[in-house]
Structure 1
Amino acid sequence: MATIASLKKGQKAIIGEMNSNEIPLKLLEMGCLPGNQVELIQIAPFKDPLYLNINDTFLSIRKETARLINVELINDE
């Protein structure tokens, strides 16, 4: 199963199942919810944090948190 941490720069996906007890409440409040689209915009020079666009909300999250969020890749044509 893919996670946000496994996305490549510019890649888009749909957020899938996750354990909301392990995800910070602030991320959930900012739209990091199942069914929402996520795009990896940028990766910091030392590979952490990750800069994301989730439904037109820009945020950065630590890679360890990104590994907890499962995604389903979108095939852009």
Structure 2
Amino acid sequence: MPRNFGHSPITLNDLTPGRRARIRQLHGQHAVRQRLMDLGLRPNIEVLLVRSAPLDDPIQIKLGTTHITLRRHEAATIEVAHDG
């Protein structure tokens, strides 16, 4: 179940391990946004939140066959649609 219970958009940061989501939009700025896009994070791509570190930061996501580690503040800039 997502962590976000309000009406604001859900971000990758709101997901719990084992949940899939489809990227809707990247809200990062300049170099951070470009880095995320270079890693393959683009609109309409499905990602799986694999795990969260013991202190909750960073998180590991799976994009196809690739595992990517992101800081929570970076994940908070990625708006997603929860797929279940």
TM-score normalised by the shorter chain: which range applies? 0.7 to 0.9
8 A Cα contact 1:15 1:71, kept in partner: yes
8 A Cα contact 1:36 1:55, kept in partner: no
Question: Partner letter of residue 82 of structure 2?
Answer: L
Aligned match of 1:73: 82
8 A Cα contact 2:22 2:82, kept in partner: yes
Aligned match of 2:48: 39
Structure 2 residue ranges without an equivalent (≥5):
1-8
- Report how many aligned residue pairs link the two structures: 75
Distance of 1:56 and 1:36 partners within structure 2: 13
The sequence identity of aligned pairs, in percent, is: 25
Alignment partner of 2:37: what SS? helix
Task: Give a deviation string over 1:36-59, Cα, whole Å, max 9, x none.
Answer: 011100100110000000122211
Q: TM-score, normalised by structure 1?
A: 0.87
Distance of 2:24 and 2:66 partners within structure 1: 18
Name segments (4+ residues, structure 1) moved above 2 Å.
19-27
Superposed CA RMSD: 1.4
Residues 1:3 and 2:26 aligned together: no
Shift of 1:30: 1.7
